[in-house]
Amino acid sequence: MNEKMNRLEFLKSLGLKGASLFAVYCAASGLSSCVNESIDPTTPTGGTANELSLDLTSAAYSKLNTVGNYVIVSGIVIARVSTTSFAAVTQTCSHEGQKRVVYNAGEFYCPAHGARFDTAGRGLNSTGSRGLKTYVTTLTGTTLKVTL
Ligand code: FES
């Protein structure tokens, strides 16, 4: 009887020790993973998510140094509309949502059905009557920023 109780007490004490050891182990080894899990994975990383920065001396964007040219970056059509100004609009047409807007002859144009827009995104014909979303551009030295 005593032996049985002793064994039970022994097992209990083993269990308790095991449980507390396990808890301590978890607290120590789980700490870093708990901290990691507390970081919201949807939080944006990087501070420039709300703008594009184009180096106009780079081969990819140097065509923007010439009036009339344009580039398409991340779904945005960026055009050099004059010696001192740029215009940026979404590449997605407001007519039927086709991602085909380009810059041509001083205006934005969608070849899908012929929608036309001025450099401020305003519709120039009935197909383009809903206009285009525009973005602010800022030239500093040779860096053109497009605010999203
Ligand atoms: S989708 Fe652009 S004109 Fe129709």
Query: Does the pLDDT at position 96 exceed 60?
Result: yes
User: Residue 92: how many CB atoms within 10 A of its CB?
Assistant: 18
CA distances from 113 to 35, 66, 122 (A): 53, 28, 16
Q: What is the DSSP letter of 63?
A: G
- Residue of 110, 126, 133 best suited for mutating to test ligand 1, as the one with most atoms within 8 Å of CB: 110
What digits encode the pLDDT tens for the residues 3-32?
554 554 544 544 544 444 333 333 344 333
Is the shortest distance between the CB of 110 and ligand 1 below 6 Å?
yes
What digits encode the pLDDT tens for the residues 45-95?
333 679 999 999 999 999 999 999 999 999 999 999 999 999 999 999 999
Q: Which two tokens stand for residue 76?
A: 């945005």
- pTM for this prediction: 0.69
Distance (angstroms) between ligand 1 centre and the Cα of 136 equals 23
Is the shortest distance between the CB of 116 and ligand 1 below 6 Å?
no
Of the candidates 125, 144, 61, 135, the one whose C-alpha atom is nearest the C-alpha of residue 92 is 135
Q: Which two tokens stand for residue 13?
A: 């004490």
